[in-house]
Chain A
Amino acid sequence: MSEFLDLEVQDGVRMTWNVLPGTKQDAAACVIPAAAIYTPLKPIPDIPLLPYTPLRCRICRAVLSPFSVVDYTAKIWACPFCFQRNHFPQHYFSISEENLPAELFPQYSTIEYASVADTNPIMPPVFMFVVDTCMIEEEIGYLKSALAQAVELLPEKALVGLITFGTFVQVHELGFGILPKLYVFKGTKEVTKEQILDQMGFFSGKKKPTVGVIAGSRDGLSAESISRFLLPVSECEFVLNSVIEELQKDPWPVPADLRSSRCTGAALSVAAAILGVCVPGSGARIMAFVGGPSTEGPGAIVSKTLTDPIRSHKDLDKGSVPFFDKAVKFYEGLSKQLVHQGHVLDLFACALDQVGVAEMKVAIERTGGIVVLAESFGHAVFKDSLLRIFQSGEHDLGLCFNGIFEVNCSKDLKIQGILGPCASLEKKGPLCSDTVVGQGSTTAWKMCGLDRKTSLCLVFDIARQGGPEALGPPASNQFYFQFLTYYQHHDGRMRLRVTTLSRRWVAGPGNVEELTAGFDQEAAAAVMARLVSFKMENEDDFDPIRWLDRSLIRLCSKFGDYQKENPSSFTLSPRLSIFPQFIFNLRRSQFVQVFNNSPDETAYFRMVLDRENVASAVVMIQPSLIAYSFQSAAEPVLLDVTAIAVDRILLLDSYFTVVVFHGTSIAQWRNAGYHNQPEHAAFAQLLKAPRDDADVIIKERFPVPRLVICDQYGSQARFLLAKLNPSVTYNSSNPPTPGGDVIFTDDVSFEVFMDHLRRLAVQ
């Protein structure tokens, strides 16, 4: 396992198979697809930043890498992807084995270029706040203070704009000093860029050009007309603060039997159009703060009548969702527009009710936006997450813009697509597989927004046909991958990160061991989680449990060690040994068991899953559990109900929630105040340790998880119990250990699951 982690440290890549099945047939037999989870902007220590433009293959445009074969005397390099021989240009003529440019150093398989020739003015990042006002005063109060804090943290040069909405959309003209001035758009209509241009006075006093793309200062808009709406924080801080300070509940009256009329869709459409008009192509985020369901205009998710419930998973399954499809279609359109403009949509949804995350998911995910779901704007999950976005420091997100991600691979590989926060640029090529997963049929993707943790899951297709000739002595048994990521670094400059990988492949029978050795079960679990989520959303009548089970059984059949028809003989190599456990937990996770959650929550969980790296994904699938007691130091324990004991504190990290769970005795002692007594310092320490660890987790995680502190038998304990393996249930034959707990469920426990697996695998 550790070697996979090392590889990840070097390149930010985890692959399901680090030794690849060499032919299509082999790959099919391997069940788990060949896939890579790549974190393009993963901070890599000592990564060189080359101040010049990369050298590229004449034919396939691949970038010179350590895997290129260099003929120092002829000053020629061979491209490992297309085998084209390229001459080095003049300035590389001093190249020799002793005098290598950094990009040829073997350890620099990942490297960055930043062209100094880039003379374009640095465009500061743009933040367009889109703020819901259909909320109770209390929520508005929370939101105001959060926004005010955020404004303080904004980079000085960042441009900022403000839109508020309720029944109508109000665009605040922050650059107008005399009065508070706002443009009011109808909530029931989508707004186009053209309308914005016409209606907001961008051509005042000038003739509108009749042809050509009109947008941005480069295309004829005066800087003044843009700076009415978007201007540096330093210049508008006062106005902005006063507007925020005076934010009020949407003034349109709401009858008691109706929901507020909230035009989220129209507001976002206006925001997108304004950004499209003012700053197309430069990094900008729409940050939407939404406090309830959209009920008005495009993208509405529910009628205003309070007696009509908001769609549930059940409704989605039955297809009885009059608003859903229309809303999704609207957001698809919006996402296309945003992708085209290179802008990001972030969503901060804070409401007890659903707000329509499920519908907006497409727009958020395709643009690489951030999503935070909380119950209230006063909740730490929201407040701290918002701060985290703007905070600089150790755990900053490193928000970057305008990424374009491209892939080169050896010709025997094809790309099915990417599962993750990106949008296809529809650049078709021979590398595209016919099978499409996620954003496919392309070799280039747009990542409007990306940060240091954004992780893409690339799913490959092994295209090499098996057969006698293929089995002949291969010229090379290496596959090469090259990932190119152009992006606007948060310093404003464009950069290119190049990661070039090589992986050995094996073909034919008898290579099971080699394949097993290269199997990264964590990566596989993460990939399976993304895949199953994707299929649940996109394939009709998809049965995720069955699909997961069958995949697991087939995998175990192929790689397990057993005698046919003898379940007890079944063993798995350590490389695969915990994979069944991952699948077991995945089956029980929020990604698959959606009915415990609202569609909004599911969408939220999946979006986070789809942008996180393997380690985080594993936590989401199979939470970690740490026990604290007087008997021993903090130790990881099995995610099992038996881990519960009266004198233990458990710390559960399920990624979205961090639970500190006190056993009964601990809780009693604490309630008795022992930890405040000097003679019980140890107890105080015991109480504090899990809290400290939880803080550490919370501090480095984004979105900030919800912290639940609970006691055994308390109502909040459900956050823990739901994640534990129900090895002891109310109808188990074995009684719980004294002080232990039972789980009231009919779900099978892991042991039962394994029994079945063994039985089926050996058939």
Chain B
Amino acid sequence: MAPPSGPPGVTPSMIRAPPSQLGQTPLPGSPLSNAPPYIAPPPGRPMGAPAPYMANPNPNPNPNPVSQPPQAGPPAAAAQPNPVMGLAASLQNSMIGTPASQSFASRPFPSTAQRPVSVPFSGSLNQNPLGSKGSGPFPGQPASQPYPGPPALASQPVRGPPQLFPGQIVGQPPMGQPPMGQPPMGQPPMGQLHMGQPQMGLGPMGPPSMAAPPMGAPPMGSAAAPFSGSAWQGQQRQGGMLAPVRMAPAGMGQQSMVSTPGAVMGYSPHAGAQVGTPSKIDPNQIPRPVPSSNSSVVYFETRQGSVVSPPPPATSDFIVRDTGNCSPRLMRCTMNQIPCNGEILTQSCMPLALMVQPFALPHPSEEPIQLVDFGEMGPVRCVRCKAYINPFMRFIDQGRRFVCNLCGFCNDTPRDYICNLGPDMRRRDADERPELCRGTVEFVATKEFMVREPMPAVYFFLVDVSMNAVGTGATAAACSAISQAISDIPEGPQTMVGIATFDSTIHFYNLKRSQQQPVMLIVPDVEDVYTPLQTDLIVPLGECREALEQLLESIPSMYQTNKIADSAFGAAIKAGFLALKPTGGKLLVFQSVLPSLGIGSLSSREAEGRTNVSNADKEPHKLLQPADKTLKTMAVEFAEYQVCIDVFLMTQTYVDIASISVVPSTTGGQIYYYYPFSAVSDPAKLYNDLRWNLSRPQGFEAVMRVRCSQGLQVQEYSGNFCKRVPTDIDLPAIDSDKTIMVTFKHDDKFQEGAECGFQCAILYTTVHGQRRIRVMNLSLPCTTVLGNLFRSADLDSQFSCFLKKAANGIPTTPLTQVREQIVNHCINILGSYRKFCASISSSGQLILPEALKLLPLYTLALIKSVGLRNDGRLDDRSYWASHVASISASLAVPLVYPRLISIHDLTSMEEGDSVLPAPVALSSEYLSDEGVFLLENGEDALIYVGGMVNPEILQKLFGSPSLEGVPSQLVLQQFDNDLSKKFNEVINEIRRQRCSYLRLRLCKKGEPSGMCFHSYMVEDKAPGSLSYVEFLVHVHRQIQIQTKSN
């Protein structure tokens, strides 16, 4: 580990950290980590773990785990009544009775604590079953436990633990703890999540939610803040999983300290006792993301000798030093140790996948990727598997031969490339040659990598000028955006541009004429499209800049009176494609209405769906599939000729994104969605999006392939590309924002201690017309220990993986099923952990692996996300799905679990703090009526204004003491006051982080916009969905069911 680099705060973490590593072996006592134990238990259960889990053997009436929760809540009464009691019992158990708990107590400090996070509720669930008067579902076991301490425990345990959550122990015990402890008194029983029971049959669910508020308050003051922040971190460190990197500031440290004990407490019955009488689970203590922004930048070395450090979280701020493995920004694996065989992987239920973002933006302080030119020889490659030379290729025989790290073949070193080996058996020149010491390098491509001259950078703009587009200002916005953005296009002799507009016909412009105005050339036949000229439609930017600018200026007025409502989108892109066909290039389409004419025209299916209710009800997801194959077929052809299409949808109506999105997703492009389009607020975003689109690091006519060591093979690629041969993917364009997910499966075994190598090679043409090969290498140790897998799990990647899988499922699977699958994934993983790595602990505890402790929260957020909500507009959901398909790991989490920060008190932040205040949990409890909050998910930014905000604050922020008349689609202004300045700084910082301009929306309490805002409060209970606490209870129960059933 690279501990030293960290800030002072590090130290403490360090201390804890070590255990983590050791952790596995160490504490015999700890139920969690030890591999052996796990393994042992499994015997009973077949490896195929997931399956058993899924199929809840439980007699539960509800087959779907998912479905249960809701039921559980309200009606739960029936089943749970018992729980009540049970809960109490269970809790206690965990707290008190269980040896485990004790052990925990001890652990945390010393070592292991980290991984398993026991959730408070755990208990409750069990109990329900058990305790519940034999309410069947849960096998007997719980029963036994609960009993132990039932009554007494009930009250105490619950409260005591509260804070603990932090890292590991989600276990309820922690919850109750200190903070909670005191206040809850009265309610004890109720308070707890599970608790509710004591009394009557109230569903355990019910109570928790209820409980929340009361709880919330007390903790807030004292505990809440600290916990959220530091506490977690602290624990994480212990886990060892988390990079030492982020050290908590001093202050934090303390807190964390505090919390830690808390956590400990939680586990131990004693703790509970100390705490007092917590009745409820404190929502403050459940696992929540660590605010990253406050911590200083972390330095991360990808390898230290043979040690591979797990990368810092994708969302955090870190600086990478490439010491053999590529930067985690470029490639990130769902687990930082590779299972030696398929069985272990299956058992873990975790996905094995790489998130590849080949052009990810580096941190400004990182070293640039080095370019290596092998001259005519071309890059050295393995003769057999064609892998490129990399630091993991082993040179032998005095350097005359080398062994491929992927296929194991022994190659002769090319004569010119031979170099002696040093005593360390490395080539003596290894450190001077980037390809031998860096995880990522670029090779200059030789002729054999080119089927033709590298293409120039070509940008073709297509602007909708139909009646609505002009009327809503979309056309004007597009023209002005293009006009401004072209000045940012990297101008070389190679840069070419062209433009066309379209309504029911397609209008090209010949920009070539040196002397005067461009000529407008209209292609009227939108069923059988063609380009009106072979040349001159696309001309070097330098030659036509002025003409183009003038044209863009006059287009809006030219079509001001356009009465043509139809829009031939399909034909237009086809025409644009034909213009680009000789060279390839980027086609940027600005579309405003449903394509109603010509090739690939679409019908308003949304309306059909509405009127034809029966049909829509049966298979609503059909409307999320492309209407037909036309656009797909076209898109494949586009991709073949290296044409990438980006679509900017500036609309106020349904445009059938489900169908349209096929085009960008197949051609390596993306969709930008401005709905409802506002001519006032959106042009700025449009301009920024376009500018970024054109100026971000990118490449053209790319081909990408991922190779891996023998033992694994690529199972599937997913993202925005076109695939014509099984091994490679074609990317007409690839840019810094696009991520491609690559999943793997085992086809052989690895030796323990071996390393598994991954190599992603992407052959592309730079914007300056140079052909390059970017090669990224990642070599990870293999393990047969399941616990190692969990310890090395990468939450961000795994969650991205789930997210993408969910998005993929949206068009083809009924929504409930998609959600069910997601929840099952989560349950299965946690179940596997529980079963194999934490089996010793009481079943009354929900134990979460440290690295994945946030998985339940994110899973909950995911099933509540726009794409998976029943009430979402079709287009919103389709857009969401298409957006997700190429989203990077660093943006995946914020998308579903947005960042919420308070604005009204920005000025109270101290100098020296980072620009962004610490985020607040996504729960209504944290919203105050006097406050102004900003919620952002990388796409949208909602500004929530409470009902009783000081007019002075409003005046400062919005320039008006009341929000009357302030449009909800806000244009942010900077006023001459501190608050406004800070607010602008915040927004700008977020924009920078997200590489996105954000659509600002004003949400006022008590208005529909406010409701919209509340839909992002994922921890809240909402009609038809669980609160976070309830969800944890549900997950726990399902895990128990699984465990029992086996």
Residues of A within 8 A of B558 (CB): 178-179
Count B interface residues, CB 8 Å.
29
Determine if B546 is an interface residue (Cβ-Cβ < 8 Å). Answer: no
Query: In residues 172-195 of chain A, which contact B (Cβ within 8 Å)?
Result: 173, 176, 178-186, 189, 195
Determine whether the beta carbon of B535 is less than 8 Å from that of A251: yes
Closest to A183 in B: B522
Count A interface residues, CB 8 Å.
25
A179, A251, A253 pick with most chain B CB within 10 angstroms: A179
Determine if B482 is an interface residue (Cβ-Cβ < 8 Å). Answer: no
Determine if A702 is an interface residue (Cβ-Cβ < 8 Å). Answer: no
Please pick, from B520, B528, B532, B562, the residue contacting A189 in the complex, using a CB distance under 8 A: B528
Please pick, from A170, A205, A252, the residue contacting B564 in the complex, using a CB distance under 8 A: A205
Determine whether the beta carbon of B563 is less than 8 Å from that of A184: no
State in angstroms the CA–CA spacing of A745 and B528 once bound together. 57
State in angstroms the CA–CA spacing of A89 and B518 once bound together. 66
Determine whether the beta carbon of B520 is less than 8 Å from that of A182: yes
Closest to B515 in A: A246
Closest to B521 in A: A184
Determine if A546 is an interface residue (Cβ-Cβ < 8 Å). Answer: no
Determine whether the beta carbon of A184 is less than 8 Å from that of B519: no
Determine whether the beta carbon of B535 is less than 8 Å from that of A199: no
Determine whether the beta carbon of B526 is less than 8 Å from that of A199: yes
State in angstroms the CA–CA spacing of A186 and B534 once bound together. 13
Please pick, from B505, B519, B532, B534, the residue contacting A179 in the complex, using a CB distance under 8 A: B519
Please pick, from B509, B518, B534, the residue contacting A252 in the complex, using a CB distance under 8 A: B534
Give the shortest distance, in Å, between B313 (CB) and chain A (any CB).
54
Residues of A within 8 A of B562 (CB): 204
Give the shortest distance, in Å, between A518 (CB) and chain B (any CB).
60
Determine whether the beta carbon of A199 is less than 8 Å from that of B520: no
Give the shortest distance, in Å, between B539 (CB) and chain A (any CB).
13
Determine whether the beta carbon of B520 is less than 8 Å from that of A180: yes
State in angstroms the CA–CA spacing of A195 and B535 once bound together. 27
Main SS of the interface on chain A? loop
Determine if A559 is an interface residue (Cβ-Cβ < 8 Å). Answer: no
Q: If the complex has contacts A178-B558, A201-B504, are A185 and B525 also in contact, measured as CB distance less than 8 A?
A: yes
Give the shortest distance, in Å, between B575 (CB) and chain A (any CB).
10
Give the shortest distance, in Å, between A224 (CB) and chain B (any CB).
10
Query: In residues 556-600 of chain B, which contact A (Cβ within 8 Å)?
Result: 558, 562-565
Closest to B520 in A: A181
Closest to A178 in B: B558
Please pick, from A181, A186, A205, the residue contacting B522 in the complex, using a CB distance under 8 A: A181
Determine whether the beta carbon of A251 is less than 8 Å from that of B536: yes
Give the shortest distance, in Å, between A634 (CB) and chain B (any CB).
56
Determine whether the beta carbon of B528 is less than 8 Å from that of A180: no
Residues of B within 8 A of A253 (CB): 534
Residues of B within 8 A of A198 (CB): 504
Closest to B523 in A: A184
Determine if A168 is an interface residue (Cβ-Cβ < 8 Å). Answer: yes
Give the shortest distance, in Å, between B768 (CB) and chain A (any CB).
28
Closest to A167 in B: B534
Q: If the complex has contacts A179-B520, A180-B520, A201-B504, are A186 and B525 also in contact, measured as CB distance less than 8 A?
A: yes
B467, B551, B562, B563 pick with most chain A CB within 10 angstroms: B563
Q: If the complex has contacts A179-B558, A251-B533, are A200 and B520 also in contact, measured as CB distance less than 8 A?
A: no
State in angstroms the CA–CA spacing of A205 and B524 once bound together. 16
Residues of A within 8 A of B551 (CB): 179
Determine whether the beta carbon of B519 is less than 8 Å from that of A183: no
State in angstroms the CA–CA spacing of A118 and B530 once bound together. 47
User: B525-548 vs A: 1/0 string, CB under 8 Å?
Assistant: 110101011111000000000000
Please pick, from A184, A195, A201, A206, the residue contacting B532 in the complex, using a CB distance under 8 A: A184
State in angstroms the CA–CA spacing of A204 and B467 once bound together. 10
Closest to A252 in B: B534
User: A198-220 vs B: 1/0 string, CB under 8 Å?
Assistant: 11110011100000000000000
Determine whether the beta carbon of A199 is less than 8 Å from that of B519: no
Determine whether the beta carbon of B519 is less than 8 Å from that of A186: no
Please pick, from A179, A189, A200, A201, the residue contacting B517 in the complex, using a CB distance under 8 A: A179
Please pick, from B517, B530, B565, the residue contacting A205 in the complex, using a CB distance under 8 A: B565
Residues of B within 8 A of A201 (CB): 504-505, 564
Determine if B304 is an interface residue (Cβ-Cβ < 8 Å). Answer: no
Give the shortest distance, in Å, between A637 (CB) and chain B (any CB).
59
Q: If the complex has contacts A201-B504, A204-B564, are A186 and B530 also in contact, measured as CB distance less than 8 A?
A: yes
Give the shortest distance, in Å, between B444 (CB) and chain A (any CB).
34
Residues of B within 8 A of A178 (CB): 554, 558
Q: If the complex has contacts A204-B563, A204-B564, A205-B467, are A199 and B521 also in contact, measured as CB distance less than 8 A?
A: no
State in angstroms the CA–CA spacing of A176 and B559 once bound together. 11
B526, B530, B558, B564 pick with most chain A CB within 10 angstroms: B530
Give the shortest distance, in Å, between B574 (CB) and chain A (any CB).
13
Closest to A181 in B: B520
Determine whether the beta carbon of A206 is less than 8 Å from that of B534: no
Residues of B within 8 A of A170 (CB): 521, 532
Closest to B508 in A: A184
Q: If the complex has contacts A179-B558, A199-B504, are A186 and B528 also in contact, measured as CB distance less than 8 A?
A: yes
State in angstroms the CA–CA spacing of A198 and B568 once bound together. 13
Determine whether the beta carbon of A206 is less than 8 Å from that of B519: no
User: A153-182 vs B: 1/0 string, CB under 8 Å?
Assistant: 000000000000000101001001011111
Residues of B within 8 A of A168 (CB): 530, 532
Give the shortest distance, in Å, between B1038 (CB) and chain A (any CB).
58
Closest to A172 in B: B519
State in angstroms the CA–CA spacing of A202 and B518 once bound together. 24
Please pick, from A176, A186, A199, A251, the residue contacting B505 in the complex, using a CB distance under 8 A: A199
Closest to A168 in B: B532
Closest to B597 in A: A198
Determine whether the beta carbon of A181 is less than 8 Å from that of B519: yes
Residues of B within 8 A of A181 (CB): 519-520, 522
Q: If the complex has contacts A179-B558, A181-B520, A182-B519, are A199 and B532 also in contact, measured as CB distance less than 8 A?
A: no
Give the shortest distance, in Å, between A178 (CB) and chain B (any CB).
5
Closest to B566 in A: A204
Determine whether the beta carbon of B517 is less than 8 Å from that of A180: yes
Residues of A within 8 A of B535 (CB): 251
Residues of A within 8 A of B520 (CB): 176, 179-182
State in angstroms the CA–CA spacing of A733 and B565 once bound together. 86
State in angstroms the CA–CA spacing of A699 and B590 once bound together. 61
Residues of A within 8 A of B518 (CB): 179
State in angstroms the CA–CA spacing of A186 and B551 once bound together. 25
State in angstroms the CA–CA spacing of A200 and B506 once bound together. 11
A–B pairs, 29, beta carbons within 8 Å = A170-B532, A173-B522, A179-B509, A179-B519, A179-B551, A179-B558, A180-B517, A180-B519, A181-B519, A184-B508, A184-B521, A184-B522, A184-B523, A184-B524, A184-B532, A185-B525, A186-B528, A189-B525, A199-B504, A199-B524, A200-B505, A201-B505, A201-B564, A205-B563, A206-B563, A251-B533, A251-B535, A251-B536, A252-B533
Q: What residues of chain B have their CB less than 8 Å away from a CB belonging to chain A?
A: 467, 504-505, 508-509, 517-526, 528, 530, 532-536, 551, 554, 558, 562-565
Known: A181-B520, A184-B521, A184-B522. 18 other contacts (CB 8 A): A178-B554, A179-B509, A179-B518, A179-B551, A180-B519, A182-B520, A183-B524, A184-B524, A184-B532, A186-B530, A198-B504, A199-B524, A200-B524, A201-B505, A201-B564, A204-B564, A251-B535, A252-B534
Query: Would you list the 7 A-B pairs with minimal beta carbon distance, nearest first?
Result: A205-B563, A199-B524, A184-B532, A181-B520, A204-B563, A183-B522, A204-B564
Q: What residues of chain A have their CB less than 8 Å away from a CB belonging to chain B?
A: 168, 170, 173, 176, 178-186, 189, 195, 198-201, 204-206, 251-253
